[in-house]
Structure 1
Amino acid sequence: MERSENKVSVVQERNKPESNYNGKDVATYRDFIRRIRDLSEYNEKLERVVADQSRELTGVITSNSKVISIIAHDLRNPFISIIGILEMIRDYFEHNQGSDIEKYIDIATESANSSLNLLDNLAAWAVSQDSDRAMHPEVIDLIEMLMDEIRIIRCSAIQKQVSLVYSIPPELSIVADEQMIKTVLRNLINNAVKYSNIGGEVKISASKENDYLEFSVQDTGIGISYEDQRKLFRKDILHSTPGTNKEKGTGLGLLLCKEFTEKHNGKIRLISEPGKGSKFIVTLPNPA
């Protein structure tokens, strides 16, 4: 009897600690599983972040490589043309004299202007890739800026007999980064001349309404199809088509126009139809 009681007692003693031990073990196990699950979810989030950043970095590298490749190729051609034309001028003077020399000079000048514009865009593009580069807002006289750009572009316009007309109120100004706004204006006017037909017209207008300044560049040229409009302003495509005089381009100019406009919290839009010309409109905040 005593043995039986002892046996029962032993069983009871064994059961009691075993029950307590199992309870702690289950709690520990559940906590361990929860931590593993949390770590797994955190790891998945990290993997998604790394994957997103890798895709973004790959896109940047691809875009930058594409831009550099295009520029290296297109920058070489104008200089080859300039050298060739200068050699022709030298040879011509050795054997002849006549009015054809003016045509050669015009071609060389056009090539030089094309190279200058490409170099300007390359420098501007390098600035746009520097996220640490701060903007330098200052008061800009739009008429003065426009006259500077027209002097550079005038030769190309004269060759195509394209009239440059502007309508800007006197003393109209804006507070903005001068180099960025110059780049926008230069590229829009260059493109307007590039896609204008012989004897066409390019009109540059500007006005201020409330706290916004709007300027536009409109041409009477060949226009842009809806399909091509969808390819503009994109880093992954850098779309460009030859001008009416077979002028080449990279597509970088319009991309810079968009980036620099947006850096000023502005917008750029396009109105165009094939055969009816194009109008690019830039709207920028300009509080009084």
Structure 2
Amino acid sequence: MTRVVLVHGIAQQVKGAETLLADWYPALCDGLALASGPRPEPYEVAMAFYGDLFRPAGHRGLGLGVPELDASDVEEGLETDLLLGWWHAAAQQDPQVTGPEATTRLRTPYAVQRALNALSHSAFFAGLSERLMIASARQVRRYFTEPDLRARVQDRLTRTVTADTEVIVAHSLGTVVAYETLCAHPEWSDLHLITLGSPLAVPRLVFDRLLPQPAPHPRWPAPVTRWTNIADRADAVALTKTLAPAFGARVTDHLVHNGPQAHDVRPYLTARETGAAVAGALTV
């Protein structure tokens, strides 16, 4: 009986469903406690895990599940634009981060290296190596440009949702997976969608790459009766904080403060706003 389905984001390739649940479930319960909501039993919560689909079979990544990458490995286009976008967002929020200059408009390894150097000194990306930042951008690029991989990722969510599912809670790239999968399954019904740190409305990099294509208007996922979006003001991944302007007034947007790790899923889950949204789904 799976009432709550969780969908993770990027950079989880060396973990697994149970490993992630060990972090997500207590945080989810903490948010529900703040909102005085019902606490689902562990067997009622499932993780739609797809991280292993990004895990290479063999690499020289020193046991971290990430190949050795540097600025010269960053591909032109989406990978470069994501890193520069994250840099721009981090510089706006963190006075310790030197912002991009006009020269960074040149898509060169030098501009990418400057972005990586700046991000490594930001509070948002503190502790992440250059190769992990590059690998994160690469996972986003691969999801959007490799149709077979995209389908396999969405299939993991499809197989996790059951007739008992009431709410899907998705984070980061997982919000894209959730949105596209829900649009592909109009036969599902009465689901609540909660998106955390979502890049769904980021123009050009994400929004314009969605399937179904958003032009002239994005499609409302038919199974969704309520959509709550929650973003931290300093979340560099959720470059566009509110989704209602892009997806319609039926989306309820909330801004929260997660502390220095603005994109971390745990403070998102412990937020009262998240707890209230999940509680609303479970008590209907």
Which TM class, normalised by the smaller chain length?
A: under 0.3
Structure with higher helix content = 1
> Is the strand fraction higher in 1 or 2?
1
Instruction: Normalising by structure 1, report the TM-score.
Output: 0.24
Which is bigger in relative contact order (C-alpha 8 A, separation at least 6)? 2
Larger radius of gyration: 1
